Each structure stands twice: as C-alpha cells, then as structure tokens.
Structure 1
C-alpha cells in the first residue's frame, strides 16, 4: 500500500525487527523532515484538544529521550521485588471476587472477575481511593475507543474531550492531596521524583497516571477472559492443566500467543529502509500485526494449536524493543493468580449456555461478556 503511505507486516521476523529497529519511531516529529513538521504543526491544535494533549504525554507514543525518562520514573514499580510484595494482595483480591462469583447462578466472568481484578490492583498501586474506582470504568472505555482508531459517531470527539478533562481534574486533585500528605503509593513516588530535580511536568505526571490506569487493566481483562474461554474450547488442555497446575505460567504464555490481547501496533519510518523486499520511505506508517506474528509457522510449530506446554514460546504479545510492555510482569502475575484462584475455587467451571459477546475492536481482542457456571 505504498501509494497510501501505509505498510502492513505480519511475519514474526519482520514484526520483531520493526519493533526493535530504532529507524522505526512513534513520533511524527521524529519521522518527518523539519519542513514537513513545520507545515503539519501549523494545522494541528493538540493544546486545544484535551484528549490529544493527554495522549501526547503518554510514554506509549514518545521516543527517547522523553520515553526513556518517563519509563524510568515508573519502572521500579514493576521489578520482581515489587511484584513479590504485591502478590499476596492480588491473591486476596482474586479470592474475594471469586467468593462473590460463587453467589451468582450464572456470573459474567468479565464483569464479576476479569474486569475488577486489574482495576483494583492498579488503583491500589496508584493510590486511588476504593470509593473512586467506579469512576474509571467509563473513562477507561473512552480511552480504549480512542486508541482503537476506528470511525466513531459524530459526538465522540466531544465525549472523549470531556473524559480527558474529567480524569485530568481528578488526578490533579489527587496529586495536590499527595503533595501535602504523601503516602506509600506510586503517585507520591512520582511527585517525589519530580521534586528531586526530574523534569516531569504536572501534565506528564497526570498523563502517566492515566496511561497506567488504562493500560494496567484494559489488556489484562482481555488476557484473563481469553485464557478462560480458550481453555473452555480446548477441554483436553484444560484437563491437563487441572492435573498439572504447575503448567499455569506456561498456559498464560500460550494464551497470550494464541489470543493476543493487543492485536497490532504501529511505527513510522524515520528514514528510507528496505524490509521484506519492499522499500519503506521516510514518514510512511508501518502497521505491525502482533496477533498474526504470534501465529507465524516459521516461528511456532503448529501455530494454530493451543498447547499449554509449548516451549520455547517467544511470543510478541507484549511487543519487544524499547516499547516492550512495562507492565508485563504485573499482567503475568495477575493472569497466573487469576487462573490459579479460578481453578482452585471452581474446578468444574464451564461456559454457560448463553451467548458470549466479543469486544468490537480492531486493536484489542477480548470479551465484553462471558457467562459461566461454577458448579
């Protein structure tokens, strides 16, 4: 699709190279010649668009050195030591949610378990008060729709701008509270880092909190739902897992490969480059298909077979390179704990005779509803 300045790559080797090669960048200003940037900037008003202003400060859409700086400020929260400290808290949350599920005849696994688990975890990590968690559901859904990039109804621009303003105001208030009365949470730590001389602005601080909240649960919800449904659809693998609970970590990895929660991402070429026999020109968009790469027969033996004992399993569900998912250790831990708790509490868990509902998205692969029976 050279005529449209747009390329799509789906082979594992190509996708992995694009994700790791510094020629491919996230920011348009780093991909285009200076004169092209000047012309484009004259027609943009990111500052007057609250949503675009917010996204412009997400490390997800930035290149080094800004990306490196923002990532470095929060990376300590996802170290193995930090994950070990969180483990028991996540187990407790998952067990409480499972107990509530047991009280329902046919609970919706997504609404009752997969969605609240990562929301509660990331909210606790940030320091969001428990009574405010429900506020984030609508906000997060709006951000997810923005990231999806598909056509939206005419009023969506106004709706997304409103969500950006509301969540900005919320975190600005919370940040002010933590400045006067710090606690043991990530917001307090980020404020301390700023005050020790880092150049983190208030807008960057707010944007980072929002990114962690949205990214910290959107993909994990999909991962949990996809894993359970895939096990339902492969009963022989589910029986194997019940016999061998030590395979839970590799089951999560295989589910991430087989039903990747994030299906694609994109880069911009900052210089002319040849890849896969094609000439990509500076400034052209390169779409990489993570889900397709994870089913590449050149990389995975029998790629369309769900095999919880697959090894090695170097999938790209968390991408790779500089933008490898910062929260991958937390997502893996949540997935493993979720599956362990569900199997222990509901060994007879099965899909209810009710239609499931898939998320309508080209970016995310997940479920909006999955009714189950626990007995």
Structure 2
C-alpha cells in the first residue's frame, strides 16, 4: 500500500483509512451465493455506497490539489496524459486511482499470504526456492493460479455470441469463474498439483485482453521482493493454526496468518 501511495503522491500516513476502505469493500461475510447476480449487485452497492462516496471525495480532493500544484508522480502524469487530443476528466482519474490504490494493494497482499500457505503445504518447494531464487517467479505464478485472489468476475456481453454450445444474448450478465478456468485439465496438466516449474502457465488471474490487469507487473514485482526477503531472512517458516480466511465467494485470501519462524 505504501508503494502505491507513493507512486500516486498520496500520503502513506493515511494507510489506516485505505485499509478500512478495502476491508469494507472486499471482506463481506454475508454474501448469499444463491442470490441472482443483479439483485446481489444492487444490495452490495447500497451497502457500500457510503464507503465509495467517502473514497471518491478523498481522491477528488487529491486530484484537484494536483491540478493546482502538479507533482511529478503518477497522478500528475494522469492529469497531463493525452491521446488524440483528449485528456482524462476528474471522474475518470478518480476511477483509475481508486482501482490502483485498493485493488492494487489487496491483491498483492493476498498473493503473498496465499504463497506462504502454499509453501507451508509443500515444504520441499520452499527449500528449492532458497537454493535457487530464480524459481521464485514461477512459484508466484503457480500460487496465483491455484489460489486466485479474485475467484470470479462479472462481465456484460455487448453482442450476442456463443461460448461452446451455449448461446449468450446481448446485454447478458455473465459470472466468470476464474478459479475453474485456472484448473481446466484441457489447458493445465495435472491441474490440482502445485508445480512451480509449470510452463507455460496461461492462468487468467490477471484477466485477458482489454481487461488485463494494469497493475500486473507491479503486483508480480512486489510479491517477488516481499517473498525473497521472507525466504532469505528465515530458514524455516511454519503456519500456525487456525488460519483466518476471507469469504472465498468474495476473495481468496487470509485476514490473519500466524507464523512461527526460525532465523
């Protein structure tokens, strides 16, 4: 979170506020999996509206402050970015900054925790990573495939199309299960096996096409740096039960992860 705040020129001292927003937006325990998507969406937006308004007001003040006194940071560059003579308006920049600030930090945090869980389940892999740090990127990709931070995504069909044998009408709301795609045996050999040498590893955890995650490179870098430090600092890392996890219908991540470590 501190890294992203500094990139955006936002005070890192406000981190507790950002964490409160993230918890409100992503840590729901009362989600009904059987509820229709649109109905669940309306209920969720009603519940989250106060948090979203508070966040948008905060970010709008930040952006307007940068318009008065531009800084050499990502927010300042967004204000001057231009394509075909068009620039982003304040509302568009609020959406961009809010997405990067919240989704950008919480998914990387999830990846670090999820990878630690995976290494605890496969102690031999942790030893391999200490012996050969070059294997760490592959371990992170496999962790993201097996424990996908956002297990499902909603999409709206723009035109009528066909997926396999199913006809999808225009304007339909689709619930896409990324976790299922990431364990498709037609794409991944032995899909339930945690294999840090899996190559290729075309998982969809970062999305695809025009929906590909804009922060994927940053997330991978942050996870690699954090986990490298963790493995270098401690020769032994053991997860202590119980593990407190988020509601996996919303996000696959841990809220609280106790570790016993030895230097």
Q: Who is 1:283 aligned against?
A: 171
Q: Equivalents in 2 of 1:157, 1:300: separation in Å?
A: 36
Give 5+ residue unaligned stretches, structure 1. Answer: 1-118
How far off its partner does 1:281 sit? 2.1
Over aligned residues, Cα RMSD in angstroms? 2.4
Structure 2 counterpart of 1:167, from 46, 55, 61: 55
**What whole-Å deviation, never above 9, does each CA across 1:10-55 have from its counterpart, x for those lacking one?**
xxxxxxxxxxxxxxxxxxxxxxxxxxxxxxxxxxxxxxxxxxxxxx
Q: Who is 1:134 aligned against?
A: 16
Of Structure 1 and Structure 2, the greater helix share is in 1
Structure 1 counterpart of 2:134, from 230, 246, 259: 246
Structure 2 counterpart of 1:308, from 192, 196, 220: 196
Q: Who is 2:81 aligned against?
A: 193
Structure 2 counterpart of 1:359, from 233, 236, 246: 246
Q: Equivalents in 1 of 2:155, 2:49: separation in Å?
A: 25
Q: Who is 2:26 aligned against?
A: 144
**What whole-Å deviation, never above 9, does each CA across 1:174-223 have from its counterpart, x for those lacking one?**
223222222221111112237x9534221222222111111111211111
Q: Equivalents in 1 of 2:107, 2:15: separation in Å?
A: 17
Q: Is the 8 A contact 2:146 2:192 kept in 1?
A: yes
How far off its partner does 1:229 sit? 0.4
Structure 1 residue matching 2:86: 3-state secondary structure: coil
Q: Is the 8 A contact 2:79 2:87 kept in 1?
A: no
How far off its partner does 1:363 sit? 3.4
Q: Is the 8 A contact 2:108 2:219 kept in 1?
A: yes
Of Structure 1 and Structure 2, the greater strand share is in 2
How far off its partner does 1:159 sit? 5.3
Structure 2 residue matching 1:349: 3-state secondary structure: strand
**What whole-Å deviation, never above 9, does each CA across 1:54-107 have from its counterpart, x for those lacking one?**
xxxxxxxxxxxxxxxxxxxxxxxxxxxxxxxxxxxxxxxxxxxxxxxxxxxxxx
Q: Who is 1:267 aligned against?
A: 155
Larger Rg: 1
Q: Is the 8 A contact 2:159 2:169 kept in 1?
A: yes
Q: Equivalents in 1 of 2:208, 2:46: separation in Å?
A: 34
Structure 1 counterpart of 2:230, from 327, 342, 346: 342
Give 5+ residue unaligned stretches, structure 2. Answer: none
Q: Who is 2:261 aligned against?
A: 374
Q: 1:269 to 1:164 in 2, by over 3 A?
A: closer
Q: Is the 8 A contact 2:153 2:176 kept in 1?
A: yes
**What whole-Å deviation, never above 9, does each CA across 1:113-139 have from its counterpart, x for those lacking one?**
xxxxxx111111111112212111111
Q: Is the 8 A contact 2:234 2:261 kept in 1?
A: yes
Higher RCO (Cα < 8 Å, 6 or more apart): 1
Q: Is the 8 A contact 1:357 1:369 kept in 2?
A: yes
